[in-house]
Amino acid sequence: MTVAHLIAVPPVVIAGPGRLEHSPETAEVEFTVVIPFHNPGAALRRAVERITDALYAQGITFEVLAVSGGSTDGSDRTLDGLARTRVVVRDDIRDRGAALQAGFASSTGTWIGFVDVDSDVEVDPYELVECLHRAREEASVLA
């Protein structure tokens, strides 16, 4: 089963060592997709390509942060050369929770979504895009 989640956060700008300030006018990326992964093999690249294709098709400015949660299969190298995709591999990230935290902390988008990628599951990227559209609508109603 594919799981897609979406949260809203104010854009964040680093303003000096260790200090964060919120600044809506500095957001260039509307949507950050965080993908925690652990040994998905080639399925990781296929999932990221499908997600980026869907976001490009919708005209959404985005970044993808693929964060290894202790992955040991070299799947991070399958993402070499993909546009708007950053890969985070650190020794201190050993599980899914730490991978999500690192991805959220590194995001630059106004909205953050995350998708669980598993080698047995095909990700439906339009589910994630639809979550973004619904969140935008709800935010405009609340404004």
- What letter represents residue 89's amino acid? V
Least confident of 19-23, 30-34, 117-121: 19-23
Tokens of 108: 């630059």
Q: For the chain, give every domain's residue range.
A: 4-13+26-142
Tens-digit pLDDT profile for residues 45-71: 999 999 999 999 999 999 999 999 999
Give the integer Cα–Cα distance in Å for 104 and 140: 23
Give the integer Cα–Cα distance in Å for 80 and 45: 9
CATH superfamily assigned to domain 4-13+26-142: Spore Coat Polysaccharide Biosynthesis Protein SpsA; Chain A (3.90.550.10)
The SS3 assignment for 35 reads strand
Mean pLDDT, residues 17-34 taken together? 61
